[in-house]
Amino acid sequence: MATSDKILAAIASQSDALCSLSRRIHANPELRFAEHQAAAWLGAAVEAAGVPVERNVAGMATAFRARIGRPGGARVAILAEYDALPEIGHACGHNLIATGALGAFLGLAAVRDDLPGEVLLLGTPAEEGGGGKIKLIDAGAFEGLDAAMMFHPFDRDLLAHGALASEWLTFAFTGKPSHAAGAPWDGNSALSGVIQTFNLIDSQRVHFRDGSRVHGFITNGGQAVNIIPEHAACQFSVRATETGYLGVLVEQVLGCARAAALATRTTLHVSREKGYADMRNNMSLARAFGRHLSAQGRAPAEGDDTVGQGSTDMGDVSHVVPAIHPYLGICEKNASMCHQHDFVKHAGSDRGMEAMLAAARAMALTAEEVLRDGALRSAARAEFDAARR
Ligand SMILES: [Zn+2]
């Protein structure tokens, strides 16, 4: 039997177990950095295949790493995410990402003695804010890799789709409290600072580059109706199609908050939280993945500019190693999108499981091809180097 057939047979033999684990994670959503059950279940499945699991990677209790194959050759990482969202649960389908990566790894584990290189399974916590992959990058987990891959559930099959560079800004305004009816002239409203920040940002939108996103909400709007608000705050997510332009956009937004403070005679405290880098899809690898997906009867598009973009810490990975983040549909086109209530249902559906298994097969065969095919590795590396310039 050819190696690829052995890989596919191994995934087939595991498919029931993969689906039931995916449904178990789906039914037990855990928030970023607290994915203790999911990480334990995934690790146990790897150990059951006779592969040791390293836990607490990069100082994160819910990160893990396993490796198979031969050191010294090419190296590929397959990434699992498993965090859920507050209140709406697995509305991003990370339960499918988790078992898709596990399935690919177990398929490759069945031929581990024949692999001409090394395959890593990386359990990456906290994609929904927190950036587990960034901590793994900082800890050197992506050094010396030829490729990194994961898949994400969606409403259609796409080999490559952008993700926006992002940063979070929190603006805390401090004013001067006063009786709102008896002596409003003695007060300065922190809430006015917040409201004018929103208005000024809206006034600048026309100047933003295409594809930029600046969206916020009020986290503190005041304390009581009869007090001129002393404290008020808001938070913004600032996103741009390229990390280079993000800095320009952040400055523009900071200027709006500073101007609001000036006009409302309030003081401003800014806290910045680094977000994620934009996604650089490696098309050499994405097309290889696409061939393996098409061979299963799916018809992925290379890209689709009509759909919106989010942000992911896989973007940061794509800046340090050739990487792909293809999407597989788990529902009809436009039926539902990530982070919507309906998407939760699709993430636990039979169609979701089918997409997860298809992704597992295509990732396993792509990883094997990367290990075996030096020309593919060179093409991916050349593309990666060109994007960095
Ligand atoms: Zn997601």
Within a 13 Å sphere around the CA of 45, how many CA atoms are in the beta-carbon half? 27
Count of beta carbons in the 10 Å neighbourhood of residue 50: 9
CA distance 278 to 152: 16
pLDDT, tens only, 229-270: 999 999 999 999 999 999 999 999 999 999 999 999 999 999
Per-residue pLDDT at 129: 87
Find the 277 Cα to ligand 1 centroid distance in Å: 15
Residue written as token pair 């794509």: 318
Find the 381 Cα to ligand 1 centroid distance in Å: 26
Give the model's confidence band at 366: pLDDT under 50 very low, under 70 low, under 90 confident, else very high: very high
User: Phi and psi dihedrals of 192, rounded to 5?
Assistant: -60, -35
Find the 28 Cα to ligand 1 centroid distance in Å: 16
Q: What percentage of the chain has pLDDT greater than the value 70?
A: 100
Find the 85 Cα to ligand 1 centroid distance in Å: 9
Q: Which residues contact 180 (CB under 8 A, 6 or more apart)?
A: 187, 225, 226, 227, 228
CA angle 148, 14, 352 (to 5 degrees): 70
CA distance 120 to 8: 18
pLDDT score of 389 more than 80: no
Find the 93 Cα to ligand 1 centroid distance in Å: 7
Pairing state between β 74-80 and 147-149: parallel
Find the 70 Cα to ligand 1 centroid distance in Å: 31
Contact indicator for 263, 196 with CB cutoff of 8 Å: yes
CA distance 319 to 325: 13
pLDDT, tens only, 15-35: 999 999 999 999 999 999 999
Find the 262 Cα to ligand 1 centroid distance in Å: 39
Average pLDDT for residues 363-368, to the nearest whole number? Answer: 98
Per-residue pLDDT at 335: 92
Give the model's confidence band at 5: pLDDT under 50 very low, under 70 low, under 90 confident, else very high: very high
pLDDT, tens only, 306-325: 999 999 999 999 999 999 99
Q: Identity (one letter) of the amino acid at 376? A: L
The structure's pTM equals 0.91
Structure tokens at 317: 């990975």
Per-residue pLDDT at 22: 98
Q: Whole-number mean pLDDT of the chain?
A: 97
Find the 184 Cα to ligand 1 centroid distance in Å: 47
Find the 66 Cα to ligand 1 centroid distance in Å: 22
Find the 22 Cα to ligand 1 centroid distance in Å: 15
Q: Which residues contact 260 (CB under 8 A, 6 or more apart)?
A: 173, 192, 193, 194, 195, 196, 197, 199, 200, 266, 268
**What is the greatest pairwise CA distance in the chain?**
87
pLDDT, tens only, 121-155: 999 999 998 999 999 999 999 999 999 999 999 99
pLDDT, tens only, 64-123: 999 999 999 999 999 999 999 999 999 999 999 999 999 999 999 999 999 999 999 999
Within a 13 Å sphere around the CA of 310, how many CA atoms are in the beta-carbon half? 14
Find the 340 Cα to ligand 1 centroid distance in Å: 12
Per-residue pLDDT at 136: 98
Average pLDDT for residues 358-387, to the nearest whole number? Answer: 98
